[in-house]
Chains A and B, each alone.
Chain A
Amino acid sequence: MSAEGHGHELEHDHEHEHHHKDTFITKYIFSIDHKMIAKQYLISGIVMGVIGVGLSMLFRMQLAWPEESFKVFSFFLGEKFAPNGVMTNDIYLALVTIHGTIMVFFVLTAALSGTFSNLLIPLQIGARDMASGVLNMISYWLFFISSVVMIASLFVEAGPASAGWTIYPPLSALPQAIPGSGMGMTLWLVSMAIFIASSLLGSLNYVVTVINLRTKGMSMTRLPLTIWAFFVTAIIGIISFPVLLSAALLLIMDRSFGTSFFLSDIYIAGEVLHNQGGSPVLFEHLFWFLGHPEVYIVLLPALGITSEVIATNSRKPIFGYRAMIMSILAIAFLSTIVWGHHMFISGMNPFLGSVFTFTTLLIAIPSAVKAFNYITTLWKGNLQLNPAMLFSIGLVSTFITGGLTGIILGDSTLDINVHDTYFVVAHFHLVMGISALYGMFAGIYHWYPKMFGRMLNKNLGYVHFWVTAICAYGVFFPMHFIGMAGLPRRYYTNTNFPLFDDLQNVNVLITTFALIGGVFQLVFLYNFFSSIFYGKKTVQNPWKSNTLEWTAPIEHIHGNWPGEIPEVHRWPYDYSKPGHDEDFVPQNVPMKKGEEVLHH
C-alpha cells in the first residue's frame, strides 16, 4: 500500500466527480471535510483558550492582591463565590483546576492536534481527505460535547471540580473533602471520558491516514517533519489515553459504586469510611502514565510545526532531518517510561525513584539534539522574520529555558525540595504551556492563508508576538525564584505565612505581566477574526514553501486537488539548493537530469 496508494486515489476521484452541492449544515456544521473540521477545531480551541486564560487572570489577581475586593470577581463569580467581590478559597481552587484542564486538554491537545493534524496530514501527504471523514466528524463533535460538559460544570451549584487538574483521589473522590468533588467532579469525569473517545478517534484516523494514503513518491523519509510529529503524537495518544480512561472509570466506581480502588482507611467528616485496601498511589501511576506522555502530545506537534516554519523561513533545509525523526521517536519512546518523576515523593519505593531519574534525564539528549538542530538551521540562513517565524524562534527560546530546569525536577534528589512549588509551575508553563502555545500561534500565522484564503495583518502579528514574548518571560521567570524560596503552589493566599511576605511584590509583578499579556491577546483575536473577512487575499504559495499543501488551489474543494494528486519526487527541504534558480524546489518538481540528492 504505503507510498503507492493508487487504489485510494481512484476511489476518491470517483467520489469527487459525483459530489453534490453542500447545504449550510453539511458544509459548516456536520462537515466531513478535513479542512472544515480543522477550522472547527481551531475556533472551538480559541474559545476554550479565551476561557482558560481568562480564569488564570482571575486567580492571578487574587494571588497579587489577596482577599481584596474586585468588581470583576463579583461579575464573573457571583455573590456565592465572591461575596462582596472577595474570591473564596473554594472557587480559587476550582479556577486553578479548570484553567489547567482546559489549557492542557482542550486547547493544547485537542485544538492544537485537531487543527493542524486535520488540516495538514491530507494536504501534506497528498491525500484527498482523512481515511475516514465520518470518524473525523464524530471526533470533532465528541470534542465539542466534552467542551460543553466541561463548561457546564462551571455552573453547578457546589462549584466545578477543584482537586487540581491531576484530580488525585481521595480528594476528588469524596465530596466531604471539598465541595467541588460532588457534581462538579462527576461532570469533569464525564467530560474527560468523552474527550478521550474523541481523541482516540482522531488519533486512529491520523495514524491510518499517514500509513495508507501517502501519494506516489511520498516515502516515510520524504514526509515533512510536521507529519512525523503528528503521526508519532497520535501513536502516543493511542497508547496512553486509554490508561487515563481506565483511571477515570475506576474513579467513577470508587465515587459512585462503593469500590476501593484508590481509597483505604479514611476517616472524614466524623466517620470512618468502609473502603479498604486501595491506594491513591495507584491512581497517580495511572494518571501519570498518560500525564507525562501528554506533555509530548502537547509539545511534539508544536515542534513539528516549528520545524516546518523555521526551515521554510530560513530558506534552508532543516538541519539533521533524520536526527530530528530519530529524536521524535526517542522522545516518544522515553515519554512512556518516565511518568514516575511526578511521584518521587509520593511514597513509592525510592528504588523506583532511581530508575525514573535515569530515564527522565535521558530525555534531555534528544531534546538537546532538537534544540541544537534548530539553531543550526538558522545559521547562514536568509531569515524571513514574519510573525510565524518569530513565534517559532520564541518557541526554541522557551523550550530551552523551560527544558533546562527539567534537569532539576527530573533529578529525584533535587525534586525533594522543589516538588509542587512555584518552581514546577514555572518549568512546565515555559516548556510545555508557552512553547506549545507559540507552536500553535506559529501554525496559525503560517497556515492562515491556507485555511482562510486571506492573510493576517503582519504588523498586528509583530505587536502580538513581542508583547506576548516579554510577558511570558515576565510571568514565568520570576516564578523560579519564589519556587526556590519554598512557596507551595495552589495556595489561595500566602498571608498566613509571614515567612513569605518578602515574595509578595514578586507576585504583584507576575500578575501585572500576566494581565498585560492576557489582555494583549485581544490583538490576536481581532486580527484573526477580522482577517477572515477583510484580510488581504493570498497568493497560492505565499511563503514559497516546498510542501504539497501549497500546490492545492486557494479555494477549498473536496478532494483538495482538482485533477491528479501531485506526485512527489524529492524531500520537502530543498531550499536554496545549489543548481536551482529559485531558492525553493517544491516536492512535486521532478529531479533534473543529473541532479544529486544532497542530504542523508
Chain B
Amino acid sequence: MTSLLVIIVLVLLAIALWQLTKIFDLSQVGEYKNNTQVADDKDNNTQGYLMFGFLAFIYIFTIYGLIVWGPLVLHTPASVHGPLIDDLMNVTWVLIFIVQAVTQVLLHYFAFKYRGKQGNKALYFADNNRLEVIWSVIPAIVLAGLILFGLYAWTNIMFIEDEEDTVTIELYAQQFNWTARYAGNDNVLGKANVRYIEGVNTLGVDVEDPYANDDVVSKELHIPKGKKVHFKMRSQDVLHSAYMPYFRAQMNCVPGMVTEFAFEPTYTTAEYRELPYMVAKVANINSIRTKKSAELVAKGESALDPYEFDFLLLCNKICGASHYNMQMKIIVDTPEDYAKWLKKQTTVTQEVKADKLAKLAPEAGVKTDANEKDTATITPMKEVKVAMK
C-alpha cells in the first residue's frame, strides 16, 4: 500500500513538475530579456560554486557509503585462494581511491577556480610533451604491476593441477536447480551425457561405465574442509553460472562441455558462523526480518523464518524465469564428518537398479539376477558419449 501511495505521489509530482517547469519558463520572459543559453558572469559564478558543492557531494556520499554500506560487502574469504584475490582487490582499491580522489578534486576545483569572467583571457596552453609523457608512463608502470600481480594470481587459481589429494565433484545445472555428483572412492566421475537421462538417472550417468559404479548424487553440496575440491560443471539446458561468493569462486556451466574450478575450503560452516563479523551480520539480518515479520503478521500472513548463515551456490547467469531462485546449500564439513556423510549416500547405479526393480516388481515375480541383465541393456540408445574423466 505504501508503495502504491509513493507511486501516486510520484505521478502527481511528475505532472506538477511539468507545470512548474512551464510556469518557471513563462515567468522568465519579462525578467531576463536576454535569457539565452550563453552563460553570463552571474551564471558562471553560481555554477562554479555548485561545481565545488558537487565535489563535496561526491566526497560525502563516498564516505557515507563506505561507513554505512562498507560492512555489507563480502568479507573473510572461506577458501585458500580467497585471500589472494582479496589482497589484489584491496591493492587495486587503494589505487582507485587515490586516483579518484585526486582527479575529481582537480576537475571540480578547476571548474570552480577558473569560472569565467568577462574580460579574462585564458592561457594559450596547447601541449606539453613532458606532461603527456608523465601521465602515459605512470599509468603504464602502475598497470604493469597490477597485470603481473593479477596474472600470478590467475595462474595460481585457474590452472588446476590434479594432485593426489583432490576431491572430484560434478556440479550439474538445470533450470532451476543444482545437483552434485561425487566421484566416489576411485575419485573419477563415470561418463555421462544428456542422452542417458532416464527416470531416476536425471544426470544422464552412463551406468555401464565402471567408473560410475561408486558415483553418488546429492541435492546438498557437502565438501570437506582442508581438501582441494575439484569441481567439474555441466549444464543440461542453457548457460548457468556456479557462483560461490564466499569462496571467491565462479564458473559458467555450458551445455555440451565440461568446465572446471577448484578451491580448498578453510572454514567449516559451523566455524564460519562463529566469526564475529558473521554473527553481527546475521543478527542485523534477523532484526530486519523480525520487523518485516511483524508487518506480515499484521496483514495476516505467516512470519519469516529466522535466518542462519549457510554457504550458498547461486546461479549467476540469466537462465530463465526462475533464475532468481536457483540455489543450493553448501555444507563444509570436517573431513571426518564428510566421510561419514558420503558413506551414508546411495550410489547412482544402486538408485537406478532399485528404480528398475520397483518398476518391474509388480508385473511378475522375476528373479533379481535376471533383472540386472535387463537393466544393463536398457540404458544408452546412442553411441555418443562424452568423456568425463
B44 at interface by CB-CB < 8 Å: yes
Size bin of chain B's contact surface: 35 or more
Which residues does chain A contribute within 8 Å of B377, judged by CB atoms? none
Are A499 and B312 in touch, CB under 8 angstroms?
Answer: yes
Closest A residue to B159 using CB positions: A350
Are A397 and B108 in touch, CB under 8 angstroms?
Answer: yes
CB distance from A396 to the nearest CB of B (A): 6
Which residues does chain B contribute within 8 Å of A371, judged by CB atoms? 103
Are A520 and B17 in touch, CB under 8 angstroms?
Answer: yes
Q: Given A385-B111, A420-B241: A380 and B194 within 8 A (CB)?
A: no
CA distance A414 to B91 in the complex (A): 11
CA distance A384 to B36 in the complex (A): 13
Of A68, A174, A577, the contact of B124 (CB 8 Å cutoff): A577
B277 at interface by CB-CB < 8 Å: no
Which residues does chain B contribute within 8 Å of A267, judged by CB atoms? 174, 194-195, 197, 204, 236-237
Which residues does chain A contribute within 8 Å of B309, judged by CB atoms? 499
CA distance A526 to B254 in the complex (A): 49
A443 at interface by CB-CB < 8 Å: no
Are B126 and A600 in touch, CB under 8 angstroms?
Answer: yes
Are A493 and B122 in touch, CB under 8 angstroms?
Answer: no
Closest B residue to A462 using CB positions: B47
Of A265, A413, A490, A542, the contact of B318 (CB 8 Å cutoff): A490
Interface positions of B from 90 to 137, Cβ below 8 Å from A: 92-93, 95-96, 99-100, 103-104, 106-108, 110-111, 114-117, 120-129, 131-132, 135-136
Of A61, A358, A412, A522, the contact of B21 (CB 8 Å cutoff): A522
Are B321 and A323 in touch, CB under 8 angstroms?
Answer: no
B193 at interface by CB-CB < 8 Å: yes
Are A501 and B143 in touch, CB under 8 angstroms?
Answer: no
Q: Given A407-B95, A485-B74: A171 and B238 within 8 A (CB)?
A: yes
Of B129, B257, B386, the contact of A279 (CB 8 Å cutoff): B257
B239 at interface by CB-CB < 8 Å: yes
- A346, A469, A490, A499: which has the most chain B beta carbons within 10 Å? A499
B384 at interface by CB-CB < 8 Å: yes
Are A268 and B237 in touch, CB under 8 angstroms?
Answer: yes
Are A496 and B114 in touch, CB under 8 angstroms?
Answer: no
Of A365, A461, A466, A526, the contact of B18 (CB 8 Å cutoff): A526
Closest A residue to B118 using CB positions: A382
A177 at interface by CB-CB < 8 Å: yes
Which residues does chain B contribute within 8 Å of A376, judged by CB atoms? 125, 131
CA distance A599 to B327 in the complex (A): 61
Which residues does chain B contribute within 8 Å of A526, judged by CB atoms? 18, 21-22, 25
A296 at interface by CB-CB < 8 Å: no
CB distance from B374 to the nearest CB of A (A): 22
Are A481 and B3 in touch, CB under 8 angstroms?
Answer: no
Which residues does chain A contribute within 8 Å of B319, judged by CB atoms? 171, 177
Interface positions of A from 477 to 517, Cβ below 8 Å from B: 477-478, 480-482, 484-486, 488, 490-494, 496-499, 501-504, 506, 515
CA distance A460 to B23 in the complex (A): 11
A208 at interface by CB-CB < 8 Å: no
Q: Given A378-B114, A491-B323: A416 and B122 within 8 A (CB)?
A: no
B360 at interface by CB-CB < 8 Å: no
B83 at interface by CB-CB < 8 Å: no
Of A315, A419, A466, A496, the contact of B50 (CB 8 Å cutoff): A466
CA distance A599 to B126 in the complex (A): 6
Size bin of chain A's contact surface: 35 or more
CA distance A372 to B104 in the complex (A): 11
Interface string of A348-385 (1 = CB under 8 A from B): 00100110011001101100110111111011111111
Q: Given A365-B140, A371-B103: A583 and B121 within 8 A (CB)?
A: yes
CB distance from A68 to the nearest CB of B (A): 5
Which residues does chain B contribute within 8 Å of A380, judged by CB atoms? 114, 122-123, 125
CA distance A600 to B288 in the complex (A): 62
Q: Given A70-B3, A71-B4, A380-B125: A361 and B62 within 8 A (CB)?
A: no
Are B88 and A414 in touch, CB under 8 angstroms?
Answer: yes
B357 at interface by CB-CB < 8 Å: no
Are B47 and A390 in touch, CB under 8 angstroms?
Answer: yes
Interface string of A444-482 (1 = CB under 8 A from B): 010011000001111111100010011001100110111
Are A268 and B159 in touch, CB under 8 angstroms?
Answer: no
Interface positions of B from 241 to 300, Cβ below 8 Å from A: 241, 243, 245-246, 248-252, 254-257, 259, 281, 284-285, 288-289, 292
CB distance from B92 to the nearest CB of A (A): 6
Are B147 and A358 in touch, CB under 8 angstroms?
Answer: yes
CA distance A600 to B123 in the complex (A): 16
Are B114 and A382 in touch, CB under 8 angstroms?
Answer: yes
Closest B residue to A275 using CB positions: B256
CA distance A499 to B84 in the complex (A): 24
Q: Given A170-B255, A519-B13: A316 and B125 within 8 A (CB)?
A: yes
Which residues does chain A contribute within 8 Å of B254, judged by CB atoms? 279-281, 346-347
CA distance A496 to B22 in the complex (A): 45
B151 at interface by CB-CB < 8 Å: yes
Closest B residue to A544 using CB positions: B38
A93 at interface by CB-CB < 8 Å: yes
Closest B residue to A474 using CB positions: B61
Interface string of B186-222 (1 = CB under 8 A from A): 0000000111010000001000000000000000000
Of A321, A383, A506, A519, the contact of B17 (CB 8 Å cutoff): A519
Of A347, A408, A456, A481, the contact of B257 (CB 8 Å cutoff): A347
CB distance from A260 to the nearest CB of B (A): 9
A25 at interface by CB-CB < 8 Å: no
Surface stretch bound by B, among A9-17, A29-37, A398-406: A398-406
Of B47, B72, B153, B250, the contact of A385 (CB 8 Å cutoff): B47
Q: Given A163-B318, A280-B256, A404-B99: A357 and B151 within 8 A (CB)?
A: yes
Which residues does chain A contribute within 8 Å of B354, judged by CB atoms? none
Q: Given A321-B126, A497-B312: A417 and B85 within 8 A (CB)?
A: yes
Are A455 and B237 in touch, CB under 8 angstroms?
Answer: no
A1 at interface by CB-CB < 8 Å: no
Which residues does chain A contribute within 8 Å of B317, judged by CB atoms? 168, 420
Q: Please name 27 pairs of A and B residues whose Cβ atoms are closer than 8 Å in the assembled complex, sorted by A.
A: A319-B126, A347-B251, A347-B254, A354-B151, A354-B155, A365-B139, A378-B114, A380-B122, A382-B122, A384-B39, A411-B92, A412-B150, A414-B92, A417-B85, A445-B37, A457-B35, A460-B24, A462-B47, A469-B54, A485-B74, A496-B327, A497-B314, A498-B289, A502-B285, A504-B288, A527-B25, A543-B38
Other A-B pairs, 4, CB within 8 Å; known A382-B120, A389-B39 = A396-B107, A470-B57, A482-B69, A526-B25
The 4 A-B pairs with the shortest beta carbon distances in the complex, nearest first, are A264-B256, A486-B245, A599-B126, A350-B158
Q: Chain B interface (Cβ within 8 Å of chain A)? A: 3-4, 7-8, 10-11, 13-14, 17-18, 21-22, 24-25, 28, 34-39, 43-44, 47-48, 50-51, 54, 57-58, 61-62, 65, 69-70, 72-74, 84-85, 88-89, 92-93, 95-96, 99-100, 103-104, 106-108, 110-111, 114-117, 120-129, 131-132, 135-136, 139-140, 143, 146-147, 150-151, 153-155, 157-159, 174-175, 193-195, 197, 204, 233, 236-239, 241, 243, 245-246, 248-252, 254-257, 259, 281, 284-285, 288-289, 292, 304-305, 307, 309, 312, 314-325, 327, 384, 386
